[in-house]
Amino acid sequence: MRPSPRKIRATSSSSRSLRTSRPLRLLRKRYPKTEIRVTGGVTEEITAGLIDRRFDLGLITLPVSEEHLKILPLFEEELPLLRPSPTPVRGGHVGSMRASELAGVPFLLYPKQSNMGSIIDQFFAKIGVTPRVLMEADDTEAIKRLVESGFGYSMLPEHALRGQTRFFHTLRIAGHQLTRRQALAMAAVRRAWRVFEEIRTAMTSAAPGQGRQMAPASRQTPQTTSRRPIPHDHQSYLEFL
């Protein structure tokens, strides 16, 4: 029998809190004598750490291009449009606006070289909009607060916007929807599929209704990708020592 891990190190950007809290509680219950630590991380650190065997599991946004990785798809998540509001707005309602209405409005977006920035840029190109970008930042919470302060519009992960009264409206572009794909990643040489799948199950059931579950990768033939530079983006990883 494989011994319980002595230490579990979990790292998460602030936008991951709703996704990671329940899985971490389940891990603590499953491994009560295991030390669990939580910190922050970015995609480059996660993928490099996976390959260097400094940790075992990473929660990432697809696509990533790095060989020697096993990829287990989790779910799709919407990135709605955020529009500042001078008065408090209760969560839940998602409005609609035309792509043409975005002409000239200021935007606060993720850096262009980041994974999330690339996904958003491709979406704007698809709907025929050239955003007027006032500022780029890789911190989801910082962008959200700046939108609430009236500095501009943005597009952020859906679950990072839930459970609070806020000073912005959430909208969709009429006829279009932007989503991102989330996945667990581990080094191809690792043999921690049992824990890998336990975490996948916990995460896909952690927040019902927040994202569509994706088909699991085969245990015998996990997805691998070719090697090229990885975009910089805040993500999460789990390390088992």
pLDDT of residue 238 exceeding 50: no
- Band (pLDDT 50/70/90 cuts) for residue 113 is confident
At residue 3, does pLDDT exceed 80?
no
Question: What pLDDT shows up at residue 223?
Answer: 45
Q: Identical fold at 7-74+181-240 and 80-173? A: yes
Residue 164 vs residue 175, higher pLDDT:
175
Query: Domain locations in the chain?
Result: 7-74+181-240, 80-173
Place 193 in a pLDDT band, splitting at 50, 70 and 90: low
Q: Residues near 43 by Cβ (< 8 Å), separated by ≥ 6? A: 60, 61, 64, 114, 115, 230, 231, 232, 233, 234, 235
Mean pLDDT of the chain: 75
Q: pLDDT at position 234, please?
A: 39
Residue 190 predicted with pLDDT over 90: no
Please give the residue that has the higher pLDDT: either 32 or 225.
Answer: 32
Q: Among 64-78, 134-148, 150-164, 217-231, name the most confident range.
A: 134-148
pLDDT value for 232: 37
> Which has the minimum average pLDDT: 35-39, 139-143, 202-206?
35-39
Q: What is the pLDDT of residues 198-223, one digit of tens each?
A: 766 776 665 444 455 544 444 434 44
Q: What pLDDT does residue 241 have? A: 38
Confidence of residue 130 (pLDDT cuts 50, 70, 90): very high
Which residues are CB-neighbours of 25 under 8 A, at least 6 positions away?
none
Query: In this predicted structure, what is the pLDDT of residue 69?
Result: 85
**Residues 108-135, mean pLDDT to the nearest whole number:** 94
Residues 24-48: what's their mean pLDDT? 69
Domain 80-173 has CATH 3.40.190.10: yes
The larger pLDDT score, comparing residue 33 to residue 178, is at 178
Highest mean predicted confidence (pLDDT) among 26-40, 44-58, 125-139, 224-238: 125-139
Stretch 11-37: mean pLDDT: 63
Given 3.30.830.10, 3.40.190.10, 3.40.47.40, 3.30.200.20, which CATH number is that of 7-74+181-240?
Answer: 3.40.190.10
pLDDT of residue 61 exceeding 90, the answer is no
